């Protein structure tokens, strides 16, 4: 009996140690209640092109983060431990691509292994809820401006133009929401990242696949823009650089461009995901409107055609640097543009001057007949 009691007592002590150990491990975070791996539905994933580039393990972590941030959870358990660098990459993808998470703060992760994500938010939950309501209201208003655009090109165009008309570029101001869709759409003031996030948000609502791209411009400065999928082809869009901040003036230099022309001034870093190849230039504003000049004769042809249409603001894009640089000398200085106007039968009685604007980055000239 004594031996049996001793064995039972030993077993009880072992059980107590095991229970205490498990409790300690849970409280210390070594053992956690793990959520089962979940994945976005096909409908949710359809307008998240970057999600499709992730591995299955990354997709499960992405889904957990997405749900947790949407619910403003302070701590989000992940389905399994992941490498700290992988976590940082996923966090940055979400922060850049999920435009509705304007309240998510940027943080720098230093942990080598991450099993649960600790979140920082810009505002308290009640204030975020109000700002979400404000953003939803503006998005609904914006979508009304996009209604009636049948083709994907028309939808992208209306989003591009809507943002330019409604937002002003934030120049060097330390605004909390300048780099968010909320800043662009609600506060109507944003930097390049804010413009790009707003484009992403409206594009997804309009049934377009779009991603935000980060990188450098031709001056070596940090910059952000978009790529959007139109009828199965990817194109580059930079709403920020098309916004002149002059009322009623909308540029088209950076709308639906291919990599060849866009790549002269934009350099994607591909830090968090691989940007898409944009090889088609047929929807480029200048190509689709036959405003590309590759010779002196073609330049005259464009001028004649646009003057006959009654356009008093004519944009021409050049493929040859010498043609671009000598345009002013060949057509303005010697008043050749007036001669062409007369030959076309235009009434130049009230025309007193010609204003020439040059965009060397894109080799584009704008001729304004005053």
CATH number (domain holding residue 148): 3.10.620.30
Contact residues for 50 (Cβ-Cβ < 8 A; gap 6+): 93, 97, 211, 272, 273
Largest CA distance in the chain: 123
Please indicate, yes or no, whether residues 230 and 310 belong to a single structural domain of this protein: no
* Closest residue by Cα to residue 212 from 126, 96, 40, 108: 96
Contact residues for 81 (Cβ-Cβ < 8 A; gap 6+): 113, 114, 115
Binning the chain into helix, strand and coil, the percentages to the nearest 5 are: 45, 20, 35
> What dihedral do alpha carbons 140, 171, 130, 108 form, nearest 10°?
110
**Dist. CA 223–CA 192, nearest whole Å:** 6
* 19 part of a folded domain: no
* 82 part of a folded domain: yes
- Structural Rg of the chain based on CA atoms: 28
Please indicate, yes or no, whether residues 278 and 354 belong to a single structural domain of this protein: no
* 301 part of a folded domain: yes
* Closest residue by Cα to residue 223 from 192, 184, 264: 192
Could you tell me the sign of the dihedral formed by the alpha carbons of 12, 15, 19, 24, in that order? positive
* 15 part of a folded domain: no
* 149 part of a folded domain: yes
Provide the 3-class DSSP secondary structure of residue 75. Answer: strand
Domain hosting residue 72, numbered range: 42-118
Please indicate, yes or no, whether residues 63 and 133 belong to a single structural domain of this protein: no
**Dist. CA 92–CA 99, nearest whole Å:** 12
**Phi, psi for 360 (deg, rounded to 5):** -70, -30
User: pTM of the full predicted structure?
Assistant: 0.85
Please indicate, yes or no, whether residues 281 and 300 belong to a single structural domain of this protein: no
Please indicate, yes or no, whether residues 79 and 185 belong to a single structural domain of this protein: no
Please indicate, yes or no, whether residues 258 and 188 belong to a single structural domain of this protein: yes
Please indicate, yes or no, whether residues 141 and 273 belong to a single structural domain of this protein: yes
* 160 part of a folded domain: yes
Please indicate, yes or no, whether residues 137 and 223 belong to a single structural domain of this protein: yes
Cβ–Cβ under 8 Å, residues 52 and 45: yes
Q: From residue 366, how far is each of 301, 303, 316, 362 by CA, in Å?
A: 15, 11, 7, 12
Count of all residues that appear for the chain in the document: 370
Q: Could you tell me the mean pLDDT of each successive run of 10 residues in the chain, 370 residues long?
A: 55 52 43 79 95 96 97 96 95 97 86 93 95 97 90 96 94 80 96 97 97 96 97 97 81 93 94 95 93 92 89 88 88 84 72 74 84
> What is the per-residue pLDDT for 2?
57
Decide which of 56, 88, 118 is a domain's last residue. Answer: 118
**Dist. CA 242–CA 159, nearest whole Å:** 12
Cβ–Cβ under 8 Å, residues 226 and 233: no
> What is the per-residue pLDDT for 353?
67
**Dist. CA 59–CA 53, nearest whole Å:** 9
* 228 part of a folded domain: yes
Instruction: Count the neighbouring beta carbons within 10 Å of the beta carbon of residue 36.
Output: 7
> What is the per-residue pLDDT for 149?
85
Number of structural domains (the chain) is 3
> What is the per-residue pLDDT for 148?
85
**Dist. CA 345–CA 282, nearest whole Å:** 32
Please indicate, yes or no, whether residues 55 and 154 belong to a single structural domain of this protein: no
Please indicate, yes or no, whether residues 260 and 168 belong to a single structural domain of this protein: yes
Cβ–Cβ under 8 Å, residues 77 and 31: no
Decide which of 93, 118, 143 is a domain's last residue. Answer: 118
> What dihedral do alpha carbons 222, 224, 227, 228 form, nearest 10°?
-170
**Dist. CA 77–CA 126, nearest whole Å:** 23
* 243 part of a folded domain: yes
Decide which of 251, 286, 321 is a domain's last residue. Answer: 286
* Closest residue by Cα to residue 286 from 262, 310, 322, 321: 262
Please indicate, yes or no, whether residues 249 and 324 belong to a single structural domain of this protein: no
- Within the chain, residue ranges assigned H as helices are 2-28, 42-46, 56-70, 84-97, 125-146, 152-166, 181-185, 192-205, 239-242, 259-262, 285-288, 296-308, 321-327, 336-343
Please indicate, yes or no, whether residues 189 and 281 belong to a single structural domain of this protein: yes
């Amino acid at each position: 009996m004594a031996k049996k009691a001793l064995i039972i007592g030993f077993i009880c002590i072992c059980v107590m140690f095991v229970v205490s150990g498990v409790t300690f491990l849970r409280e210390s975070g070594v053992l956690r209640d793990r959520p089962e791996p979940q994945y976005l539905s096909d409908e949710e994933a359809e307008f998240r092109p970057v999600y499709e580039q992730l591995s299955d393990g990354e997709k499960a972590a992405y889904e957990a983060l997405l749900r947790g941030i949407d619910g403003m959870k302070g701590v989000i358990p992940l389905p399994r431990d992941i490498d700290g660098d992988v976590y940082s990459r996923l966090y940055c993808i979400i922060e850049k691509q999920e435009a509705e998470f304007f309240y998510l703060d940027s943080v720098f992760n230093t942990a080598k292994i991450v099993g649960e994500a600790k979140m920082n938010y810009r505002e308290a939950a009640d204030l975020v809820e109000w700002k979400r309501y404000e953003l939803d209201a503006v998005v609904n208003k914006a979508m009304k401006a996009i209604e009636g655009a049948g083709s994907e090109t028309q939808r992208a165009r209306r989003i591009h133009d809507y943002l330019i008309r409604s937002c002003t570029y934030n120049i060097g101001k330390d605004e909390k929401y300048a780099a968010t869709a909320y800043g662009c759409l609600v506060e109507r003031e944003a930097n390049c990242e804010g413009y790009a996030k707003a484009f992403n948000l409206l594009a997804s609502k309009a049934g377009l696949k779009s991603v935000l791209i980060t990188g450098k411009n031709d001056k070596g400065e940090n910059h952000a823009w978009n790529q959007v999928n139109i009828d199965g082809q990817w194109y580059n869009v930079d709403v920020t650089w098309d916004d002149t901040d002059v009322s009623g003036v909308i540029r088209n230099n950076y709308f639906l461009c291919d990599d060849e022309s866009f790549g002269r001034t934009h350099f994607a870093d591909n830090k968090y995901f691989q940007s898409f190849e944009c090889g088609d230039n047929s929807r480029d504003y200048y190509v689709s409107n036959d405003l590309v000049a590759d010779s002196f004769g073609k330049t005259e042809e464009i001028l004649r055609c646009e003057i006959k249409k009654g356009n008093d603001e004519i944009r021409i894009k050049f493929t040859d640097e010498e043609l671009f640089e000598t345009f002013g000398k060949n057509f303005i200085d010697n008043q050749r543009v007036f001669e062409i106007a007369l030959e076309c039968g235009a009434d130049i009685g009230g025309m007193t001057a010609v204003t020439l604007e040059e965009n060397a980055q894109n080799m584009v000239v704008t001729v304004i007949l005053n």
